Amino acid sequence: MTIVYGIPNCSSVKKARAWLDAQGIAYQFHDFKKQGIDGARLTRWIDACGMERVLNRKGTTWRALSDSQRAGADTPSGAIALMQAHPSLIKRPVIEQAEHTVLGYDEARYGEVFGQ
């Protein structure tokens, strides 16, 4: 089962979903703003891809945080708590397919993962 995690109005999520649709790949969409995201899943993504790739420090949500909130992201547990409180801090989309976790919109990587 392929699962796409993200926010529906995010342009990168829209591109990823369009790519999957064009390839005829079935997937389930998980809106982590509405449905939330559990700490164990965030931990798996961090283990697979690294904290710096999972935590989006470039967006408006990050810039709107206070200095003390940003400082909380210096530890994995603090970063996970921050991403759970503010799901827009998670790099989008996150695609899980079998043993693969893919962050962001990357057609070449999608082709490798899905054998396209």
**Which residues are known catalytic residues?**
10
Residue 24's contacts (CB-CB under 8 Å, 6 or more residues apart) are none
Q: How far apart are CA 79 and CA 97, in angstroms?
A: 24
Buried b (16+ CB within 10 A) or exposed e, 69-87: eeebbeebeebbbbbbebb
Amino acid at position 24, single letter: G
